Structure 1
Amino acid sequence: MARYAMTGARVVLPEEIREDLAVVVSGDRIEAVLPAAALDGVPRVDAGGRYLTPGLIDLHTHGAAGHGFDQGEAAAWAAVLAAQARFGVTAAQASLATAPLADMADRLALARTFAERDARRTEEAPRAGARLLGVHLEGPFLAPEQAGAHDPGLLLRPSGEAVGTLLAAGTPSMITLAPELPGGIEAVRRFAAAGSVVAAGHSQAAGDVFAAAVAAGVTHLTHLWSGQSALTRQGPWRVPGLLEESLASDGLTAEVIADGRHLPPQLLRIAARCLPGRLCVVSDATPGAGLPDGSPYRLGALDCVVRDGVGMSPGGAAFAGSTTGLGPMLGHLRRELGMSVPEVVAMATVTPARVLGRRDLGALRAGCLADLALFDDDFGVRATIVGGRWLLDEDGLREGAA
């Protein structure tokens, strides 16, 4: 069992950055976080002054490097997770765009077998990418008015039969749905009771419907400003939409896509002020992530293209996910909003771990999984470590350590 200590790093903690600490890794866990001066007899890896953070957690990602979770092949899923590790991501949900119900059920079943295989990893057959946290169903129970890059012809009402079909295939770790649809509130209850995190998104829900959805089990809000209804007027009366309900909410967590395309800095700043400590940054990355402009890719049932550094739907009427990884998004938040390093790191570690109820992830704390990342000053990824194993080492830091 490998045992080593990360030293010489700027260790990013929730409230501060420390330069005098060592993070001791033993096997796949963090053994201790202690003053480097107290180390005795543990092989050291000198991080050379880079930021050391918990591994990033991407709650909402569809693919990368030409591969997508919508593909019904374990090899494609493994390729996405391997590509995610190059962005500093050590754990991710497999987000599925709207597709025929049977296909989405098949992907849920695939996730179950994928997880079983992952649990049998050995030193001889190690994990090659980020760990899979479960499946995030983004559809098919979405509002047609807020379909975005989802094929409107495949959207469904959340009937008892449709919900049952999905749950019989496997429980999603998260589902995004429109609770205002007929059967929507009951669907929230059923998925929440099964153990899914239920998020409101691609939705018009507001007012009494929004309140009923929260009471039924909605705890999360999918990508603010994307697929959300907004303020309208009825005569002289101003009526909040899902966006305003989200920003005014108490206790709910929410996502933003910080790729420099989806949201201008002003909107990111509003979200950070309204939801302090409850805001996650997600990539919403697609198979186009990491590909050059002009590259085609498929998202769910739609053929899309990388254009001007973002995914575009057919005809260019809507964004079709991002083409940016999570690590670069932290650099964007730091530069454009002037947020502190602990603040932006928390948005991709502590908060998403809390959304999923995973106390073993997202923190540099004894007993947590040894999922770590090293970044340069602008959040360029230098190393990614999953379960104590180095998947990316741009600077050859691991050489010489046990």
Structure 2
Amino acid sequence: MLASELMLFPDGPLRPGWVRIEGGVLTEVAESAPPAEADAVEGILAPGFVDVHCHGGAGAAFDDGPEAAETARQVHLAHGTTTMLASLVSDDPDRLLNTVQALVPLVHDGRFAGVHLEGPWLSPQRAGAHDPDLLSAPGARELEMLLATGVVEMVTLAPELPGGIEAIRRIADAGAVPAVGHTDATYEQTREALAAGARAATHLFNGMRGLQHREPGPAAAMMEDGEALLELIADGVHVHPAMLSWVHRSAPGRCLLITDAMSATGGCDGDYRLGRLDVRVEGGVPRLVDTGSIAGSTLTMDRAVRVAVTEAGFSREDALRAASAVPAALLRRQDVGQLTRGARADLIVLDHQLQVNRVLRAGTEVS
């Protein structure tokens, strides 16, 4: 049983509360005075973070097999991420299918909430840190084989590609999240994607046609939709804090923080790889050696929350929900991302500077 003077409830401001944990589940969540036997914690008691877009950490990438995936997961778990998708970069169809199949046991045993395919159905004009030689239009056969694994929870694609709208419909029908990203789509094409079932913008602004007064592009269409959720990389590099603040004010309750972290996360500056591409990290910022394009981040979710609060003007409540409840809603998960009765006992304790001091996953303390 844990009690705190500041606890993040599903709505409203931070306020006193307590939780009871039994069998890895929250069996009571209350605002009343806690029982005498409750363990009082200092700081903020919040649900564990949910990261729907992360590629690795600790020198390991999710593309490199189950052992590497577990190594990377542990880095983010230590920073408060208790639920995550394993994001994979573009690859050829056979290798991509093999990689997804290798991750199936880690999804089934609960270590990951599923797999996120970021490519290969991306625009060559907006490839970013994806190998252009591996990009293609979505093929029905390869899409069906990947969805048949049962663990694909999100797919990022460019809707303007041949077959893109049909692929969005199929992904949505399978119960996964179609996300618009790495796209040169127009405003009108993006609206068509939304009508077909697209539900999220992959790292809004990054890897997509820019926001212009005569061609609003994907960002404007996604922001005005009212239902679409908007990924933001709050590292102070990918998106200017003023833009983070503007999106947050313009689309309240629809912003979700992601890390887009690559294998260098938790490590030092130096040389790494992202898929088949060489990456150099300097000052904590990874860039492709060949083109200088930003190649993901070295972000952890707790730092994203701090940047959102200290540089972009998010309230602590809004930033914490953008890192937990909103991404959980994208995955249609009610058992994670919020402190409610019956939810999995994923808890973090943060100090008043929003540094993570304790992490519990399913009620078990993480060292």
Relative to the length of structure 2, the TM-score reads: 0.95
Please give the alpha-carbon distance, in whole angstroms, between the structure 2 residues aligned to 1:301 and 1:138: 15
Q: Is the 8 A contact 2:4 2:45 kept in 1?
A: no
SS of residue paired to 2:205:
coil
- Matched AA of 1:290: G
Report whether the alignment pairs 1:257 with 2:233: yes
What is the aligned counterpart of 1:70 among 63, 66, 70? 63
| Conservation of the 8 A alpha-carbon contact between 2:187 and 2:220 | no
Select the residue among 97, 101, 110 that pairs with 1:109. Answer: 101
CA distance in 2, matches of 1:378, 1:353: 24
For residue 173 of structure 2, the aligned residue among 171, 193, 196 is: 193
Deviation at 1:199, TM superposition (A): 0.2
Secondary structure of 2:46 counterpart: strand
Match of 2:155 among 154, 170, 175: 175
Shift of 1:36: 5.7
Q: 1: distance between equivalents of 2:135 and 2:238?
A: 23
Which residue, out of 86, 111, 134, partners 2:78? 86
SS in 2 for 1:320: coil
Which residue of the partner structure matches residue 56 of structure 1? 49
Distance in 2 between residues matched to 1:366 and 1:281, nearest whole Å:
24
2:25 partner amino acid: R
Residue in structure 2 matched with residue 165 of structure 1 by the alignment:
145
Return the match for 1:37 from 33, 44, 49.
33
Q: Does 1:202 align with 2:182?
A: yes
CA contact (8 A) 1:98 1:301 kept: no
**Other-structure match for 2:329:** 354
Instruction: Output the amino acid matched with 2:57.
Output: A
Matched residue, 2:123: 143
Paired residues for 1:358-373 under 5 Å = 358-373=333-348
Farther-moved stretch of structure 1 (345-354 vs 78-87): 78-87
Give the equivalent residue in structure 2 for 1:15: 12
State which of 267, 276, 288 in structure 2 corresponds to 1:313: 288
SS at match of 1:242: helix
Provide Cα deviations, 1:105-126, integer angstroms capped at 9, x if missing partner: 112212222223x15xxxxxxx
One-letter amino acid of the structure 1 residue matched with residue 280 of structure 2: V
Larger of the two Rg values belongs to structure: 1
Structure 2: which amino acid aligns with 1:23? V
Aligned partner of 1:98 in structure 2 is 90
Query: 1-side partners of 2:114 and 2:185: how far apart?
Result: 26
In the alignment, structure 1 residue 46 sits paired with structure 2 residue 40: yes
Q: Given that residues 284 and 322 in structure 1 are in contact (C-alpha distance below 8 angstroms), is that contact kept between their aligned partners in structure 2?
A: yes
1:388 aligns to 2:363 (yes or no): yes
Paired position in structure 2 for 1:132: 112
2:191·2:221 contact (CA, 8 Å) conserved in 1? no
Q: Which residue of 2 aligns with 1:152?
A: 132
3-state SS of 1:37 partner: coil
- CA RMSD in angstroms, aligned pairs only: 1.6
Preserved contact between residue 10 and residue 52 of structure 1 (Cα < 8 Å): yes
Please give the secondary structure, in 2, of the residue aligned with 1:185: helix
Alignment coverage as a number of residue pairs: 366
Inter-partner Cα distance in structure 2 for 1:213 and 1:142: 14
- Secondary structure of residue in 2 paired with 1:322: coil
**Where in structure 2 are there 5+ consecutive unaligned residues?**
none
